[in-house]
Amino acid sequence: MKRFDDMQKIDYDTLKECLRYEVLGSNKKFSWFKVLHRCVKKPAKRFYFWWRLANYMNYKGGRLNIRYARRINYNLCRKYGTDIGLDAIIGKGMKINHAFSIVIRNECVIGENVILRQNTTIGKTKNGVSDGKTVIGNNVDIGAHTCIIGDITIGDNVVIGAMSFINKDLPGNVTIYTEKTNKVIGSLH
């Protein structure tokens, strides 16, 4: 299986494959007409189409392509409240449940079939410092309100529970969650 962290560019075939999985469904044959028709009929598929197109245009390069890609991404951020960096590399089969308040920074490399839920942040620890990247494997399920921060690697087939804070490497084939404690700080009486 091809790992996305080894890729340097998002090419046209990768764009079509991602759109086939995310907009049409994995068992359908790709057709631009079918993709556009699905986006018109099913508004939930529009985010995937526009973000993949902007991501492709950004990697293709050229002043005009990058300018349009940034404009598309800005509009997606305003409409959906989801900020996925255009330099992020995300494998096919991305699924976003409740696409609000999701932040994925440019330095992220995410494998295939990732599931993201609302209020998820994936990225680095400090702004302006590019001291590595966050690498997430294939078939990772990320719960709501989760923070994945730092120069870390998460293996394949990992389930991350809701409201987890991850800042260390995780091996593959595990389920992880952060234990919460309910402490009473004081009383009103």
pLDDT at 1: 35
The one-letter amino acid at 167: N
For residue 92, give the nearest of 9, 6, 14, 11 by alpha carbon: 14
Question: Higher pLDDT residue, 188 or 80?
Answer: 80
Span 59-79, pLDDT tens digits: 999 999 999 999 999 999 999
pLDDT at 184 over 80: no
pLDDT at 27: 83
pLDDT at 106: 92
pLDDT at 180: 75
Q: How many CB atoms lie within 10 A of CB 95?
A: 13
Identify any residues that bridge with 121 across adjacent strands, giving them in sequence order. 103, 147
CA quadruple 63, 66, 70, 72: dihedral sign: positive
pLDDT at 34 over 70: yes
- The answer to whether 27 and 157 are in contact (CB under 8 A) is no
For residue 170, give the nearest of 132, 145, 137 by alpha carbon: 137
pLDDT at 101: 87
DSSP string for the chain:
---GGG-S---HHHHHHHHIIIII-TTSPP-HHHHHHHHHH-GGGHHHHHHHHHHHHHHH--HHHHHHHHHHHHHHHHHH-EEE-TT-EE-TT-EESS-SSEEE-TTEEE-SS-EE-SS-EEE-SSTT-----EEE-SS-EE-TT-EEESS-EE-SS-EE-TT-EE-S-B-SS-EE-------------
Span 156-172, pLDDT tens digits: 999 999 999 999 999 99
Question: Which residue, chain included where needed, has tokens 């490497």?
Answer: 169
Q: What mean pLDDT is reported for the chain?
A: 89
d(CA 103, CA 83): 5
